[in-house]
């Protein structure tokens, strides 16, 4: 029986991913998966290989069979296989057997996962240095010297200057408000002038390649480049992604219109330069940055996008996905759950900028669907593997392993697909 992968795992992935990703201990998985409704299916033994080995010469006109530890929504198939036809469509997944003359890639010691989905990045900025180490301004000077100095935990706790090197909300670092250092990150990866050279495009191509190298096939990144990862927020870069009425994701960094006009401190009112209207819900998914920060001003953004208060617009709906939403309390999270929304978590970027991240365990206890994302290189991760590593670290060091490995994997596959309306 020929079954498309899409039918088995419920993901809208016609392009496979494949990544002989990481060496992986199934013993660990068995332990960590206790309580999850996930089967481990042991398929008949295959030849054990240290590295992936190919038999017969690869031929793009013939199906490719890949064997290893196959991850799906409902089961892990040890010694499982995937058959990909010559059109790139996955035809079979599970305990399968390849014909004798087939082209087989045997990755018995590796994990084979659906392509990772990154629901939040800024692809035009990812050629900038990580702010945490060495963020430089246009003239080559370190734009926030406190980062270097205060990343040392002892100095962070003893030096007075380090009391002020983290931020409380987004516009503080964007504009250097409250006397804090501005973080500068030029967005010159994507040329917007007719005389732009091919060389300039290379920055954004490189940024997408870095995601592909980490097994990522889709990035909502406020732009992109045709021909590499799929960009569901750019209608000309969906690249085979089929969506309802071919609608796209409405990626919105400034749903309150405070990109350049940031002089007013909004708290207790919604007098922002330009608050979105509910028309944004006509999109496949409305994907705004909301409440990026840890103080009342950050929380006020959530108030003004959830129908609470004078001038507030309620855009909490099943096709809304909020990014960051750090300054949310349990009542906010309950409203997000009630609207059947997904919350996009960027722990590395949040902690780098604000010294804290969203109360992700609280979100999960309330039942909110959580997806993981990189944000951008100035404060976040270079790719999804790195962000997964950060999420794993905070989960084990601070969340008492609240999330299983399966939970973390869902954040970059199933939940991320739902976050972008492509599940
Ligand atoms: Zn962002």
Within a domain: 253: yes
**Distance of CA 86 from the midpoint of ligand 1 (Å):** 37
Residue at a domain's end among 91, 113, 135 = 113
* The pLDDT of residue 2: 32
Q: Are 219 and 231 in contact (CB under 8 A)?
A: yes
Closest CA to 8 of 110, 82, 108, 98: 82
pLDDT at 29 over 60: no
pLDDT at 23 over 60: no
**Distance of CA 345 from the midpoint of ligand 1 (Å):** 10
**Distance of CA 125 from the midpoint of ligand 1 (Å):** 10
Residue at a domain's end among 89, 113, 137 = 113
* The pLDDT of residue 198: 52
CATH of the domain at 272: 3.20.20
* Percent of the chain predicted with pLDDT > 90: 61
**Distance of CA 283 from the midpoint of ligand 1 (Å):** 19
Region of poorest pLDDT, from 19-28, 161-170, 262-271: 19-28
User: Does 205 share its domain with 331?
Assistant: yes
* Count of domains observed in the chain: 2
pLDDT at 395 over 90: yes
Which has more confidence, 324 or 9? Answer: 324
User: Does 209 share its domain with 352?
Assistant: yes
Alpha helices, DSSP H only, in 280-377? 296-303, 330-338, 347-354, 360-366
* The pLDDT of residue 17: 36
Within a domain: 358: yes
Q: How confident is the model at residue 8 (pLDDT cuts 50, 70, 90)?
A: very low
Which has more confidence, 204 or 152? Answer: 204
**Distance of CA 180 from the midpoint of ligand 1 (Å):** 20
Within a domain: 126: no
**Distance of CA 350 from the midpoint of ligand 1 (Å):** 10
**Distance of CA 14 from the midpoint of ligand 1 (Å):** 27
Closest CA to 120 of 369, 412, 386, 423: 412
- Please give the sequence-ordered ranges of beta strands (E in DSSP) within 72-164, or none if there are none: 75-84, 90-94, 103-112, 116-118
Region of poorest pLDDT, from 1-10, 87-96, 189-198: 1-10
**Distance of CA 232 from the midpoint of ligand 1 (Å):** 16
User: Does 77 share its domain with 220?
Assistant: no
Region of poorest pLDDT, from 54-68, 70-84, 126-140, 357-371: 126-140
Q: Are 392 and 406 in contact (CB under 8 A)?
A: no
Residue at a domain's end among 56, 85, 113 = 113
Which has more confidence, 385 or 28? Answer: 385
- The predicted-structure confidence for 331-345, as pLDDT tens digits, reads as follows 999 999 999 999 999
User: Does 83 share its domain with 213?
Assistant: no
What's the mean pLDDT when you consider all of the chain?
Answer: 85
DSSP string, 31-65: HHTTTS--EEEEPPP----SS-EEES---TTS-EE
* Structural domain span for residue 102: 5-113
**Distance of CA 222 from the midpoint of ligand 1 (Å):** 9
**Distance of CA 376 from the midpoint of ligand 1 (Å):** 7
Q: What is the mean pLDDT of residues 286-306?
A: 96
Q: Are 83 and 90 in contact (CB under 8 A)?
A: yes
User: Does 234 share its domain with 348?
Assistant: yes
**Distance of CA 65 from the midpoint of ligand 1 (Å):** 38
Q: What is the mean pLDDT of residues 144-151?
A: 69
pLDDT at 390 over 80: yes
pLDDT at 249 over 80: yes
Q: How confident is the model at residue 34 (pLDDT cuts 50, 70, 90)?
A: very low
* The pLDDT of residue 24: 38
Within a domain: 159: no
Q: What is the mean pLDDT of residues 21-36?
A: 43
Within a domain: 162: no
User: Does 220 share its domain with 339?
Assistant: yes
User: Does 205 share its domain with 98?
Assistant: no
Within a domain: 224: yes
**Distance of CA 122 from the midpoint of ligand 1 (Å):** 6
Within a domain: 20: yes
Q: How confident is the model at residue 411 (pLDDT cuts 50, 70, 90)?
A: very high
**Distance of CA 119 from the midpoint of ligand 1 (Å):** 10
**Could you tell me the end-to-end alpha-carbon distance of the chain, in angstroms, rounded to an integer?**
23
* The pLDDT of residue 14: 29
- The predicted-structure confidence for 121-137, as pLDDT tens digits, reads as follows 999 888 877 764 455 55
- The predicted-structure confidence for 173-182, as pLDDT tens digits, reads as follows 888 888 777 7
* The pLDDT of residue 181: 76
pLDDT at 105 over 90: yes
Q: What is the mean pLDDT of residues 78-91?
A: 95
**Distance of CA 368 from the midpoint of ligand 1 (Å):** 20
User: Does 257 share its domain with 392?
Assistant: yes
Q: How confident is the model at residue 149 (pLDDT cuts 50, 70, 90)?
A: confident
* The pLDDT of residue 6: 29
**Distance of CA 324 from the midpoint of ligand 1 (Å):** 8
Q: How confident is the model at residue 371 (pLDDT cuts 50, 70, 90)?
A: very high
Q: What is the mean pLDDT of residues 344-362?
A: 95
* The pLDDT of residue 12: 31
**Distance of CA 252 from the midpoint of ligand 1 (Å):** 9
Q: What is the mean pLDDT of residues 92-119?
A: 96
- The predicted-structure confidence for 210-236, as pLDDT tens digits, reads as follows 999 999 999 999 988 888 999 999 998
**Distance of CA 150 from the midpoint of ligand 1 (Å):** 23
User: Does 218 share its domain with 313?
Assistant: yes
* The pLDDT of residue 408: 97
* The pLDDT of residue 301: 95
User: Does 386 share its domain with 257?
Assistant: yes
**Distance of CA 380 from the midpoint of ligand 1 (Å):** 9
C-alpha dihedral sign at 349, 353, 359, 361: positive
Q: What is the mean pLDDT of residues 399-417?
A: 96
Q: Is 177 exposed, middle or buried (0-12, 13-18, 19+ CB in 10 A)?
A: middle
Within a domain: 11: yes
User: Does 300 share its domain with 412?
Assistant: yes
């Amino acid at each position: 029986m020929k079954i498309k992968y899409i039918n088995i795992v419920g993901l809208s992935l016609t392009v496979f991913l494949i990544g002989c990703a990481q060496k992986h201990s199934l013993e660990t998985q068995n332990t960590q998966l206790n309580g999850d409704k996930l089967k481990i299916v042991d398929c008949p033994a295959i030849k054990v290989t240290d590295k992936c080995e190919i038999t017969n010469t690869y031929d793009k006109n013939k199906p490719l069979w890949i064997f290893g530890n196959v991850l799906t929504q409902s089961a892990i198939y040890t010694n499982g296989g995937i058959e990909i036809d010559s059109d790139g469509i996955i035809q079979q997944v599970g305990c399968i057997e390849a014909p004798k003359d087939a082209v087989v890639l045997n990755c018995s010691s590796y994990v084979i996962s659906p392509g990772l989905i990154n629901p939040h990045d800024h692809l035009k900025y990812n050629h900038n240095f990580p702010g945490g180490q060495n963020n430089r301004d246009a003239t080559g000077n370190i734009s926030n010297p406190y980062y270097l100095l205060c990343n040392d935990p002892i100095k962070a706790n003893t030096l007075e200057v380090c009391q002020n090197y983290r931020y409380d909300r987004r516009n503080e670092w964007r504009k250097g408000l409250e006397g804090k250092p501005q973080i500068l990150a030029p967005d010159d990866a994507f040329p917007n002038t007719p005389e732009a050279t091919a060389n300039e495009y290379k920055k954004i191509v490189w940024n997408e390649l870095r995601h592909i190298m980490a097994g990522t096939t889709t990035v909502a990144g406020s732009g992109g480049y045709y021909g590499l990862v799929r960009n569901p927020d750019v209608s000309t870069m969906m690249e085979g992604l089929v969506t309802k009425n071919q609608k796209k994701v409405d990626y919105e960094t400034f749903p309150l219109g405070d990109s350049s006009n940031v002089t007013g401190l909004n708290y207790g009112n919604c007098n922002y330069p330009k608050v979105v209207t509910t028309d944004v819900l006509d999109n496949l998914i409305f994907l705004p940055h909301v409440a990026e920060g840890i103080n009342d001003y950050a929380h006020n953004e959530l108030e003004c996008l959830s129908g609470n208060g004078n001038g507030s617009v309620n855009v909490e709906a099943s096709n809304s996905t909020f990014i960051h939403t750090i300054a949310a309390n349990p009542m906010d999270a309950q409203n997000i759950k009630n609207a059947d929304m997904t919350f996009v978590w960027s722990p590395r970027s949040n902690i780098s900028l604000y010294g804290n991240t969203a109360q992700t365990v609280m979100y999960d206890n309330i039942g909110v669907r959580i997806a993981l994302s990189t944000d951008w290189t100035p404060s976040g991760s270079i790719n999804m593997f790195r962000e997964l590593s950060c999420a794993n670290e905070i989960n084990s060091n601070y969340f008492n392993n609240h999330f299983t490995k399966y939970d973390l994997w869902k954040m970059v596959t199933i939940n991320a697909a739902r976050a972008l309306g492509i599940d």
